[in-house]
Chain A
């Protein structure tokens, strides 16, 4: 077994364990942190496959941004610990049977042995002597330009949808307006009044 294969099994084992932790741990924050580990290990696996850009994107986007969102949601819902898993043990046998049958069917239909034939998968990037990111950039901005621009539209739609669904105007909120504060002049706020002396005469 090569060192790379050894690494693969190590990462794969960590990933399976971490993803199991995601669905079994009681504290949702711990679940979210296990998911971070799952994503990170997945990024390591992708690095092994020479998909460097995807690996970094996974860490940047999922570990960096999506998990922050997950944590916010967990905190927003204010779940301290999940209640006992009612039905977990009763569903487990049925779930295991279904999962095993599905796995067997997948392997049987696709023919795991047959997939090994035909040699290693062609890698367009190495064939052209480019790095993964370079090849991706070239493909993205030449052949796949239309999907790329559609992606921008979809991202904008996501912004509009998020704002439409979560933005609420709160009435009667008193806020400070820094610009107005800074633009205040002495004359607007301060008024000098002549006060009469106790004997009734005006001040000189």
Chain B
């Protein structure tokens, strides 16, 4: 595709940036500002905060993120297939079917292992 085809994307990005900037600017410009120490304190059900808000993340998030990456990559492989699947016919369907089958088995493994349970 020639680069000129990306003009709508560029316009879209520009417009999005403009609107975002405008919303922020309007808020800062016309909103009332009366700051105070209590207003800036973190709200924790009325009492003084016990600890830092940036606490250690559980390793389980990591597992979720890895699984997300794997299935995200799977989707990335489906895109070129979807573009050409009319041209590659039945064999292409079978090929993609095998690809998905292997990953579905991986998914079954994850599920049965209980990696998707949060306890």
Q: Chain A: residues with CB nearer than 8 A to chain B?
A: 4, 47-48, 50, 52-53, 56-57, 60-61, 64-66, 68-69, 72-73, 75-76, 78, 80, 131-134, 136-138, 140-142, 145, 148-149, 151-153, 155-156, 158-160, 162-163, 166-170, 173, 175
Choose from A72, A133, A148, A167 the contact partner of B65 (Cβ within 8 Å): A72
Residue pairs across A and B with CB atoms within 8 Å: the count is 145
Extra A-B contacts (17), CB below 8 Å, given A60-B75, A149-B95, A166-B62: A4-B3, A53-B80, A61-B76, A69-B66, A72-B62, A76-B59, A78-B57, A134-B84, A148-B95, A159-B66, A159-B107, A162-B70, A163-B109, A163-B115, A166-B59, A166-B66, A170-B119
Chain B residues touching A, majority SS? helix
Choose from B6, B72, B85, B91 the contact partner of A61 (Cβ within 8 Å): B72
Chain A residues touching B, majority SS? helix
**Chain B residues whose CB sits within 8 angstroms of the CB of A158 once the complex forms:** 66, 70
**Chain B residues whose CB sits within 8 angstroms of the CB of A136 once the complex forms:** 80
Q: Mark B78-108, 1 if CB is under 8 A from A, else 0.
A: 0111011101100110011011101101110
Cβ-closest chain A residue relative to B9:
A47
Within 8 Å of chain A (Cβ to Cβ): is B58?
yes
Within 8 Å of chain A (Cβ to Cβ): is B61?
yes
- A61 smallest CB distance to B (angstroms): 6
**Chain A residues whose CB sits within 8 angstroms of the CB of B65 once the complex forms:** 65, 68-69, 72
- CA–CA, A143 and B102, complex, Å: 20
- CA–CA, A34 and B113, complex, Å: 36
- A16 smallest CB distance to B (angstroms): 22
- B115 smallest CB distance to A (angstroms): 5
**Chain B residues whose CB sits within 8 angstroms of the CB of A64 once the complex forms:** 72
Number of residues from B at the complex interface, CB < 8 A? 52
Max chain A C-beta neighbours (<10 A), residue from B74, B95, B106: B106
Contact status A60-B72, CB under 8 Å: yes
Cβ-closest chain B residue relative to A151:
B77
Contact status A148-B67, CB under 8 Å: no
21 cross-chain CB contacts under 8 A: A47-B3, A57-B79, A60-B72, A60-B76, A65-B65, A68-B65, A131-B83, A134-B84, A137-B80, A137-B85, A138-B84, A138-B88, A152-B98, A155-B106, A159-B67, A159-B70, A163-B115, A166-B60, A167-B114, A167-B115, A173-B119
**Chain A residues whose CB sits within 8 angstroms of the CB of B61 once the complex forms:** 72, 75-76
- The 4 A-B pairs at the shortest CB distance, nearest first, are namely A137-B80, A137-B84, A156-B106, A69-B65
